[in-house]
Copies of this chain bind each other. A is one copy, B any other.
Amino acid sequence: MRNLLMKVDYDGTHYEGFQTQPSGRTVQDHLEQAICQLTGEKLKITGSGRTDAGVHAYGQPFNFITESRIPLERWCLALNTRLPLDIVVTEAKEVPLSFHSRRSAKRKTYRYAINGNRFPDAFQRRLQYHHPTPLDAEGMQQALAHVVGTHDFTSFASRKSTKESHVRTIYEARLEIDRSSCRPGSKDQGILYTYITGNGFLQYMVRIIMGTLIEVGEGKRRPDDMRAILEACNRMKAGPTAVAHGLTLWSVEYDPCMLTESRESNENLIQQNGN
Contact = CB atoms under 8 A, between A and B. Distances in A.
Interface of A: 9-11, 56, 76, 80, 85-90, 118-123, 125-127, 183
A113 B162 CA distance: 47
B9 A85 contact: no
B87 A56 contact: no
A87 B9 contact: no
A243 to B, nearest CB: 13
Contact of A120 (B56, B88, B118, B120): B88
A118 B88 CA distance: 11
A123 B88 CA distance: 10
Nearest to A130: B85
A88 B125 CA distance: 10
Contact of A122 (B10, B76, B125): B10
Contacts of A80: 119-120
A88 B122 contact: yes
Contacts of A76: 118-119
Contact of A11 (B85, B88, B122, B127): B122
B119 A127 contact: no
A123 B85 contact: no
B56 A123 contact: yes
A125 B56 contact: no
Contacts of A9: 121-123
A86 B13 CA distance: 14
A261 B125 CA distance: 36
A88 B121 CA distance: 7
Contacts of A121: 9, 88
A191 to B, nearest CB: 14
A87 B10 contact: no
A183 to B, nearest CB: 8
A9 B123 CA distance: 8
A107 to B, nearest CB: 20
A123 B8 CA distance: 12
A120 B11 contact: no
Contacts of A90: 119, 183
A80 B117 CA distance: 14
A269 to B, nearest CB: 29
A234 B240 CA distance: 62
Contacts of A10: 122
